[in-house]
Amino acid sequence: MEHQPRNPSFAAEIKQSFAKQKIMALIGAELTRVEPGVVEITLPYRAELCQQHGYLHAGIVTTIADSACGYAAYSLMPEDSEVLSVEFKVNLLRPAKGELFVAVAEVIKSGKTLTVVRADVYGLDQSGRREVIATMLGTMICLS
């Protein structure tokens, strides 16, 4: 899908905004890709992010997927906008195992008020082999 940004400085603004999301520093997530309509966030495994079986907690999977979706939506919004999550649904497809987790979000439909975004979250093992562990389908709103 071709995505046309309306805000020429979207990438710089997303990086600034991401730096203000203190939760990203707490869990150790990094913004690893910012393109029109597509944003990727990467999170190395840490035991303290896990649930009782040692897998990444579904809420942390959601945390990186939601931020990736929000910024993917934001990348197509006009200048001086703000983005908020309206709702999302997450299907947990496999136990969240991996050395590294990557959430890749892409805009499905960009509207004036609402943007619908999908994200897949992958777990990568030491050899770099990746498997989808979760998928999100969400709605973001543009406030301006």
Question: Is the CB of 38 or the CB of 56 nearer to a second copy?
Answer: 56
| Binding residues for a second copy, total number by CB under 8 A | 49
Q: Which residues, in sequence order, are bridge partners of residue 106?
A: 38, 118
CA distances from 16 to 19, 40, 69, 71 (A): 5, 15, 16, 11
Regarding 112 and contact with a second copy (CB under 8 A), the answer is no
Regarding 17 and contact with a second copy (CB under 8 A), the answer is yes
Regarding 4 and contact with a second copy (CB under 8 A), the answer is no
Alpha helices in 93-143 (DSSP H): none
Strand, helix or coil for residue 66: helix
Q: Which two tokens stand for residue 103?
A: 């959430």
- Letters for 28-57 (x = contact with a second copy by CB under 8 A, - = none) are -------------------xxxxxxx---x
Non-local CB neighbours of 111 within 8 Å, separated by 6+ positions: none
Regarding 119 and contact with a second copy (CB under 8 A), the answer is no
Q: What is the 3-state secondary structure (H, E, C) of 69-83?
A: HHHHHHCCCCCCCEE
Among 16, 141, 138, residue whose Cα is nearest residue 69: 138
Q: Which member of 25, 78, 99, 129 binds a second copy (CB under 8 A)?
A: 25
Q: Which member of 9, 12, 23, 79 binds a second copy (CB under 8 A)?
A: 23
- Letters for 57-96 (x = contact with a second copy by CB under 8 A, - = none) are xxxx-xxxxxx--------------x-xxxxxxxxxxxx-
**Site of interaction with a second copy (CB under 8 A):** 17-18, 20-23, 25-26, 47-53, 57-60, 62-67, 82, 84-95, 108-109, 113-114, 116, 118, 132, 135, 137, 139, 141
